[in-house]
Structure 1
Amino acid sequence: MSIIWTTKTLYLAHSRSILLILIYLVICCCGWMPDTYTKIVNGIGKIKTTKFIGNSTHPDHFIVLYQDNTTVLLGGRNFVYNLSVFDFTERKDNKIEWTSLDPDSEICLLKGKSEDDCQNYIRILVPLPDNQILVCGTNSYKPLCRYYTAKNDEYVSVKDVDGRGTCPYDPEHNSTAVFSNGQLYSATVADFSGRYPLIYRDPQRTELSNLKQLNGPNFVSSIPFGEYVFFFYRETAVEYINCGKVIYSRVARVCKNDKGGPYQSADRWTSFLKTRLNCSVPGEYPFYFDEIQSTTDIISGKYGMEDDVKIIYGTLTTPSNAIGGSAICAYSMRDILAAFEGTFKHQETMNSNWLPIPEDKLPEERPGKCVRDSRVLPQNIVNFVKSHSLMENAVPAFFGKPILIRVSQEYRFTAITVEPQVETLTGDKYDILYVGTDDGRVLKVVNIATSSQAKAIVLSENVILPNNAPVKQLKIVPGSGNIIVVGRDEVRLANLNHCSQMQTCRDCIMLQDPHCAWDYHNAVCENIDNITSRLSFVQDIKHGDEERCRIPPSGNKKIPIYKNDAVNKITANTISEDGNGDGGDKSRNSKECEDAVESNEIPTGCAVQQRLVIAGTLHFVLFIACSLCLVFGFVAGYFISKRFQPQPQYPNSPFIEQHNHLDRLTPRANKSVNLNVPQNPPPKKDNLDVSKDLNIASDGTLQKIKKTYI
């Protein structure tokens, strides 16, 4: 019985818990909305795209090698494809074919690699003076670089050079390269197994097997800036090794004029330093997004400040075995440079904590600083950089926190690109970000930044690549609204301009897209990049306030907001190009409504009044619905608790207890006590001995004793 009792009790508690959860969800649904939501969601096939497939039977591992205003060069399997940025038309005459030699392919197969691995995947292309280009490929796990020269609209091979340290062995290795000041900087691996990473510029490189410099890095991007070249990557944090294993995002730098150190350090960097990138939700215990996935190029803007600020956007995620979270953080180059001017970290012994080094223990000349000739540096400074390349201060997020956070088990951010400083009708400028995910989506985001904070608005979420293929790379086609979406085996050209989908002024304004503005004259949502005169257009990017639809661009006439295309046409016909009413073609009701709006009086039958009545009705219905949900929840809980209320184990126990109490209150003098015990039943073994001399008091003591034993 106790088990049944416990089961019923648990079931009742469980039912009440479910009921309370349902009531809570109803309240949340009625009274709470997320801060950041997606305004437009387009599934697969909703966005028209132009697809390019280089090899339909084998993997290509595409990558954008080079892009200008008319051309995009794609690196793939044994080919460099030349495409038009406007319609992805392939220019087959300018295609470069470069396959691995048979001996290289055979050796690759003997080392245990597959036939698809033992191909030449083009990873690097650098334009050079005198109509030359430098192309590097994996070459069947034996990296090779080749110089080409243009002759009669064809590229002719000039010479081959060793590509180890410049080009990766595996097309899926996370590597990066950048060409600056006539030299190629690369970050990749230096061996067949991929165990020895390095940052390389012939002949300088990072230390081999020095975990304090590079500890299992995944390189993301490389960017030249000023007298430095910066490398962004993620790696196992050596300063956290005594507490476990964790991945940190890093930014490292080397000097462009670094010529190596003296003597045995001639082929080593003397200026290599690195620090952590901090992308976290602030608080007493910050929540970190520690794994950087991609970055944009450096862009310049005011962002609510007086002077221009140079920033870089990056996508960062949580670990793969943690809560699925992604974030976009911005970092200013000023903060990055300041972090490298701070203190250095130091570990006294192998098991010691990493602590900042006091300034009095640093060498006289600051380590890692760019000098005229690094080959004459003192050996103690070179050794210090080799063992103390990690900085104490992390680079903070530019706006103090991520500008966008997405927590989802469906996807994570993988790639990002930016259309910087898109100018609006008012002269304000905003950055438009395009973010790729690991399931084929591309998010269009606008960063509305002020001097105190940044606010990201997700304009649209679009599935571009089929079969949940991850987005590997994103590129902007300037001036056209087109985006190049790169997957492993296909590349698509997509237009993410949604102005034509907005049918009303309200929808166009509330979209908050810097590209879109409402045209009062033609009653359409237009792309402002395609217009010549902006007199009849209106938009509101900061607030998306639909009230702007009431005020034409001239500002001297207020009109109501209409909800359908037919009324939009009427509105367009009753307003002249300069914003003034014609008066001749207006109907009587339209005239009354406009005059009423100007005088803040709303007569019966106006569209404004209908809109206000509808809005008030919706608020009233919403309040009644929430109230009914609460009442229904409490009533249902009451009946469920009554239905499953457990019965007592002894249903007659209250009556027995009451009967005993009544017996005790009855006077004993009026009761007769029968001491005769029947002889038929066998005598019981107890403490009552019949032969014992019992002293029976007149107050009924024996009766009490007998009742107790009975």
Structure 2
Amino acid sequence: RLMLEIQINASVFWFLGHHGQLSLSAVFLDEYRDRLFLGGKDILYSLLLGPTSSESKEIYWPPLPGNREDCIQTGKDPQTECANFVRLLQPYNRTHLLACGTGAFQPMCAFISVGHRGEHVFTMDPLNVESGRGKVPHDPSFPFASAFSGGELYTGLTADFLGRDSVIFRSMGGRSTMRTETDQKLLHDPKFIAAHLIPDNDDRDNDKVYFFFTEKATEAGDREGSIHTRVGRVCANDVGGQRVLVNKWSTFIKARLVCSVPGPHGIDTHFNQLEDVFLLRTKDERNPDVYAIFSTISNVFQGFAVCVYRMADIREAFNGPFAHKEGPDYQWGAYEGRVPYPRPGVCPSKITNQPGREFGSTKDFPDSVLQFARSHPLMWRPVFPALRQPVLVKANIPYKLKQIVVDRVEAEDGHYDVMFIGTDSGTVLKVIALQGGNSLEMEVVTLEELQVFKVPTPITSMEISVKRQAVFVGSPAGVAQVKLHRCETYGKACAECCLARDPYCAWDGSSCSRYTPNSKRRFRRQDIRHGNPVLQCVDQSPGDLDVTEDKVVYGTENNSTFLECVPRSPQATVTWLVQRDDRKDEVKLDDRVMSTDQGLLFRRLFRHDEGVYICRSREHGFTQVLGRITLEVLQGETVDELMARDNAGLSDSFKDRSRTWFKDIMQLIGPSNLPHVEEYCERMWCNDKLRRKHKSMLEKYRQAQESARKARSKNSGERNRTPRDLSAWEE
């Protein structure tokens, strides 16, 4: 049995697969069974999500005999291509999953028995395997989208070995297999990102499957390589035409999704490359909010944006005019001629039926409707995001935004959409976007930036579980479970909890804890929109806010030194003050003394840098002291001389004496600071076991301090004496 590497800490749970390398390529979160199903390279996993531990089972699923060898003979890579990479995991019925993999460039599918709720069954009949053509792509690196509903599988993919036949397929179920025609008007080198079934109304005959993808834009004219993002749709009950479009989609139409920001001279900056799509489901299943990550394809700069779309705006675009071009020498425009009935793109249902003109299926549609649908798949009006602008824009950042999930959270002053965004460096950003009053300006608040994986690795999937209050983050290395909220990390004061502006958290009178809308706590404090602790925490005395630990840092003259101070809130600005002789001045920053996100860096330390450094944060007009650090500078020449002589080739008679050089360093520090040194060393180097073992050492140092003080008062002239061993070395 293969050993599985499972690691747990306070906020992240990792599953790294056997031998610590999962090669994750498919994820399905089953909230009903409390299980997480994973697909990787030649492997399937089932994780039972318990409150304290995760039991796991696995199925080894390599390509069929001979297929791996055939793949290698065609020139494909044995490690990254000639294996069975599981690309699809979908619930098939109450007891089985549908799993499909690339099968070493010969796609295959199988049914996985997972049992009923409460059971941890995970088996597959290796002999009961069927072809996966049209269900998953041949190449494991090719983009792919799927949706499963009513026993039918809808996929957007490249369906051939060479990756040239881009189609939207419907397979399985009782109806005929459907696909798009091979026509660049319909799909022009598409990259499929997501597919979702979204009902239009209570009539199931009006259910539609929406595909989100990017493609080369034929309407862009002479601008070669222009990429547009599309939303396309087909009717779930489409069965093609009787004489035209036989077994081909007869209801396929598409519209452009626009995500842009105003630029100079009235020219907008467009984010055209779609990266990921998340449907935020609401109580109204017909109207989810569509969250989408976009990137630029410009060579000038790299930027990313998140736009939100309303289903009402998408439907309005599909109900608007069709795009039309008379000929190669004409410009694109809105079609102004007569549109045949039933309108192309609508589903055969009670709405389309009229007295004497009933349409039981798309086979009953007139040929004129099908011909028009074939020649006019594109809508003229694009779909703009809510408020006609992105909710988030990131430019010139050291990572790429790749995945997104969203949770709608109820807070004291309203509902907020918390975005969890995965990057190509293995980090997860927790972000909210706030609209300020009557202004269209969006305030973006980064609540957390969490490094999920120990080694930077691109995040390839994210699944959110409101039930478990967690996000499951997938990467080629493995999968991690991250908590939606970590209120305890926001400090132990009302002001710190309020400044965090996390909709999940509120001050309950004694701690920063999970906000529950129905609880009636007298001391509950929360202010997401303004983050104003002055108003929220009026009953907290100022002395409670500056709970800081005094530290002592020793630096050597002419060397570099770092004073650490990290604000809890990413939005806070930090200033440094230095106190000398009861006078406080702001630290002057230059090339030698630099302020970083982690603290204050002295690239070269001088004697006059000694003093008490105060780290102070400011946010929304609220100021708080985060730390006081006493910087003591040791004379560089003396320390260098001691270190050099210790490292020099001393004779054996002096070796024992040279081992006491640290005593001379301690004497330079001074006996009055010995307790601080012990606390520093304990904090830096002692684990809990050693800390318990050496707990009595601090008291011994205090006794040494008292003895030193008595000796100093007895003979004050010894303060500046030569170190004990130095005179012997000089002989």
Whether the TM-score (by the shorter chain) exceeds 0.5 is: yes
**Alignment CA distance shift 1:148-1:50 (3 Å):** closer
**Alignment CA distance shift 1:148-1:264 (3 Å):** farther
Give 1:147 deviation, angstroms.
Answer: 2.5
Aligned counterpart, 2:415: 429
Give 1:215 deviation, angstroms.
Answer: 0.9
Whole-Å separation in 1 of the counterparts to 2:35 and 2:392:
32
Pair 1:348 & 2:326 matched: yes
Question: Aligned AA for 1:368?
Answer: G
Pair 1:508 & 2:497 matched: yes
Once the two structures are superposed, residues 265-284 of structure 1 have per-residue CA deviations (whole angstroms, 9 ceiling, x without a partner) of 22100110111101111362
Once the two structures are superposed, residues 524-554 of structure 1 have per-residue CA deviations (whole angstroms, 9 ceiling, x without a partner) of 21122599653321110111111233345xx
Aligned counterpart, 2:642: none
**Could you tell me which of 274, 282, 287 is aligned with 1:300?**
282
| Structure 2 segments unaligned to the other structure (5+ residues) | 1-7, 200-206, 349-359, 550-577, 579-583, 591-731
Pair 1:75 & 2:39 matched: yes
Alignment partner of 2:390: what SS?
A: coil
Question: Aligned AA for 2:387?
Answer: F
**Could you tell me which of 139, 143, 160 is aligned with 1:174?**
143
**Could you tell me which of 460, 478, 481 is aligned with 1:490?**
478
Give 1:456 deviation, angstroms.
Answer: 3.3
**Could you tell me which of 537, 540, 544 is aligned with 2:531?**
544
8 Å CA contact retained: 1:324, 1:408: yes
374-383 or 197-206, which moves further after superposition?
197-206
Whole-Å separation in 1 of the counterparts to 2:589 and 2:423:
38
Give 1:329 deviation, angstroms.
Answer: 0.5
Whole-Å separation in 2 of the counterparts to 1:273 and 1:87:
46
**Alignment CA distance shift 1:195-1:456 (3 Å):** same
8 Å CA contact retained: 2:227, 2:273: yes
Aligned counterpart, 1:332: 310
8 Å CA contact retained: 2:145, 2:194: yes
Whole-Å separation in 2 of the counterparts to 1:210 and 1:186:
17
Once the two structures are superposed, residues 430-483 of structure 1 have per-residue CA deviations (whole angstroms, 9 ceiling, x without a partner) of 111101112222110123358965543221222223443211111223254432
Pair 1:258 & 2:238 matched: yes
Pair 1:160 & 2:129 matched: yes
Pair 1:407 & 2:395 matched: yes
Give 1:101 deviation, angstroms.
Answer: 1.5
Alignment partner of 2:279: what SS?
A: coil
Describe how 1:365-444 pairs up with structure 2 within 5 A.
365-371=342-348, 372-420=360-408, 422-426=409-413, 428-444=414-430
Aligned counterpart, 1:271: 251
8 Å CA contact retained: 1:479, 1:529: no
8 Å CA contact retained: 2:192, 2:214: yes
Give 1:48 deviation, angstroms.
Answer: 4.8
**Could you tell me which of 222, 246, 255 is aligned with 2:226?**
246
Aligned counterpart, 1:12: none
Alignment partner of 1:300: what SS?
A: coil
**Alignment CA distance shift 1:97-1:312 (3 Å):** same
Could you tell me the TM-score, scaled by structure 2's length? Answer: 0.65
Once the two structures are superposed, residues 70-98 of structure 1 have per-residue CA deviations (whole angstroms, 9 ceiling, x without a partner) of 211111112221114457955344x3332
8 Å CA contact retained: 2:26, 2:88: no
Aligned counterpart, 1:37: none
Question: Aligned AA for 2:235?
Answer: C
8 Å CA contact retained: 2:85, 2:103: yes
Pair 1:138 & 2:120 matched: no
Once the two structures are superposed, residues 316-338 of structure 1 have per-residue CA deviations (whole angstroms, 9 ceiling, x without a partner) of 11116341111110000110111
Whole-Å separation in 1 of the counterparts to 2:533 and 2:21:
51
Whole-Å separation in 2 of the counterparts to 1:561 and 1:544:
20
Question: Aligned AA for 1:544?
Answer: G
Once the two structures are superposed, residues 149-196 of structure 1 have per-residue CA deviations (whole angstroms, 9 ceiling, x without a partner) of 457934242733321111111222110111112211111111111111
Aligned counterpart, 1:220: 193
**Alignment CA distance shift 1:275-1:527 (3 Å):** same
Whole-Å separation in 2 of the counterparts to 1:474 and 1:299:
16
Describe how 1:92-241 pairs up with structure 2 within 5 A.
92-93=56-57, 95-116=58-79, 117-129=81-93, 131-149=95-113, 153-157=121-125, 159-202=128-171, 203-226=176-199, 227-241=207-221
Give 1:239 deviation, angstroms.
Answer: 0.9
Once the two structures are superposed, residues 91-147 of structure 1 have per-residue CA deviations (whole angstroms, 9 ceiling, x without a partner) of 344x33322122211211111112221111111122233523221111111111122
Whole-Å separation in 2 of the counterparts to 1:247 and 1:206:
23
Give the strand-richer structure, 1 or 2: 2
276-285 or 461-470, which moves further after superposition?
461-470
8 Å CA contact retained: 2:289, 2:308: yes
Alignment partner of 1:537: what SS?
A: coil
Give the helix-richer structure, 1 or 2: 1
Question: Aligned AA for 1:282?
Answer: P
Give 1:348 deviation, angstroms.
Answer: 2.2
Alignment partner of 1:538: what SS?
A: coil
**Could you tell me which of 523, 546, 549 is aligned with 1:564?**
546
Whole-Å separation in 2 of the counterparts to 1:468 and 1:240:
38
Whole-Å separation in 1 of the counterparts to 2:153 and 2:320:
29
Whole-Å separation in 2 of the counterparts to 1:91 and 1:65:
16
**Higher gyration radius (CA):** 1
Whole-Å separation in 2 of the counterparts to 1:320 and 1:96:
44
Pair 1:472 & 2:450 matched: no
Question: Aligned AA for 2:310?
Answer: S
**Alignment CA distance shift 1:68-1:246 (3 Å):** same
Question: Aligned AA for 1:106?
Answer: E
Aligned residues: 517
**Alignment CA distance shift 1:298-1:50 (3 Å):** closer
Please provide the CA RMSD for this pair.
3.2
Aligned counterpart, 2:709: none
Could you tell me the TM-score, scaled by structure 1's length? Answer: 0.67
Question: Aligned AA for 2:503?
Answer: P
8 Å CA contact retained: 2:334, 2:380: yes
Question: Aligned AA for 1:256?
Answer: A
Whole-Å separation in 2 of the counterparts to 1:337 and 1:133:
33
- Structure with the bigger RCO (C-alpha within 8 Å, sep 6+) is 1
Whole-Å separation in 1 of the counterparts to 2:412 and 2:179:
50
Whole-Å separation in 1 of the counterparts to 2:313 and 2:161:
37
Describe how 1:641-656 pairs up with structure 2 within 5 A.
none
Describe how 1:478-627 pairs up with structure 2 within 5 A.
478-495=466-483, 497-503=485-491, 504-520=493-509, 522=510, 524-528=511-515, 534-551=521-538, 562-565=544-547
Alignment partner of 2:66: what SS?
A: helix
**Alignment CA distance shift 1:204-1:389 (3 Å):** farther
